[in-house]
Every structure is written in C-alpha cells, then in structure tokens.
Structure 1
Amino acid sequence: MTEPSITSGEIRKALTGYRALAWMTGIWLIALCYEMVMKYVYHVEGLNWIAVVHGWVYFVYLLFTANLAVKVRWPIAKTVGVLLAGTIPLVGIIVEQVQTKEIKERYGL
C-alpha cells in the first residue's frame, strides 16, 4: 500500500499555522516571565491568568508542530527538539525561523 502524498499547499498551510503558534507561544512565554518577576520579586498578585493563557497557547503549539512534523516527515528527535524549543524564551522563535527557511528550500515554497 502506498502512502498518500502531501501537497505543497498542505505543507504551506501546516507551516503557516506552526509559524503563527511559535510566535504566539514565544510572546506568551515572555509574558509568563514578566508575570513571575512581578509575582516573586515585586509581590504583585492578580496576573495568574497569564500562566493559563500561555499553557493553552503552548498546547495548541504542540498540536500544530506535530501536524507539521508529520507532513514534512521530521525524525522523532527533531520533532521533540522543536517542541521543547517552545519552552525557552526566544528560542522557539529562532527555531521557527531556521525550520521555516529549511522547509521552504526543501519543498520549494
């Protein structure tokens, strides 16, 4: 049985979703760092909602990244690395830039 081929349009759509979620995750992770500084250094309460939003955005990032990984057939180790990049401030955005360039070159997007 042959595998169904993935079209460049499907890859482009998955890449766009991944890119958007990588940036949103990065921005909300910076906001989470701000929330933690405000809470533990300045003892400001009431910003706990930032952690909740970040958690949900990161969850959706995981889904979009896994979707892209399946479509472009990333190895498991690379997939896990890209997933974990979203847990370190700014690293997820940098990894997104590198992966986007690689995918665009590889698939002629």
Structure 2
Amino acid sequence: MQGALTRYRIIAWIVGVCLLTLVLVGMPLKYLADNDTVVAIVGPAHGFLFMVYLVLTFDLARRAGWPFLRMLLVMAAGTIPFLSFWAERKVSHAWVPADLAKSPV
C-alpha cells in the first residue's frame, strides 16, 4: 500500500499545482488580458493528469479498503483549488496510517 500512497501523494500535488496555475494565472490572463496561452497549455495537461489522479485514488482506496463515499470525496477534492493539498495531507497522515494499523500484516 505504501507504493500506492506515494503515487497518490505525487499526483495530488501535481494536480493541485496545475489547478492553481489555471485558476490564479491562466484564467485572469485569459479574461483580463485576452491571452489564453496558459489555459491552452496547462488546461489539457491538467485534464489528463486529473484522470490519472482519479485512477490512482481509486487504486489507493481499493488497497486501503475505504468506504465508497470517502473515495468519492477524495476524488472530488481534486476539483477545488487548495482542497487537493488538504486531502493529500489527511489521506497520508490520518486515514492510511489508521488503515495500516488496523490491518494485520
């Protein structure tokens, strides 16, 4: 499960940074300066990486035995700026260690 957690943590940060770049840089440039270069480059990359985020979140949830609602909430966290960072912290420092403590290995 440690490998799945590491993959999830990396993609959560990447998706969070891409989303913040889109919201804080790309959107103001597009709508205030009529320059859509950042949105045109970062937008498709973020879309692809978000799909990877969903797959890796599902993988971690399956391995950790999370309830369906928790998995959906963590997946949805990647759609709200700054929330993916909070979710990554919660997952890696609270939920997964608790799951590891419960499982007999």
**Taking structure 2 as the reference length, what is the TM-score of the superposition?**
0.88
Q: Provide the identity percentage.
A: 31
Q: Provide structure 2 residue ranges, at least 5 long, that are not aligned to the other structure.
A: none
Q: Provide structure 1 residue ranges, at least 5 long, that are not aligned to the other structure.
A: 1-10
Q: Does 1:73 align with 2:65?
A: yes
- Distance in 2 separating the partners of 1:72 and 1:45: 41
- Distance in 1 separating the partners of 2:14 and 2:93: 19
CA RMSD of the aligned region, Å? 1.1
Deviations 1:82-101 (A, max 9, x none): 00000011101111101111
* Residue in structure 1 matching 2:84, options 81, 92, 95: 92
- Distance in 2 separating the partners of 1:46 and 1:81: 31
Q: Which residue of 2 aligns with 1:23?
A: 13
Deviations 1:6-33 (A, max 9, x none): xxxxx00000000000000000001111
- Greater CA radius of gyration, 1 or 2? 1
Structure holding more helix per residue: 2
Runs (4+) off by over 6 Å: none
For this pair of structures, how many residues does the alignment match? 98
What SS does structure 1 have at the residue aligned with 2:16?
helix
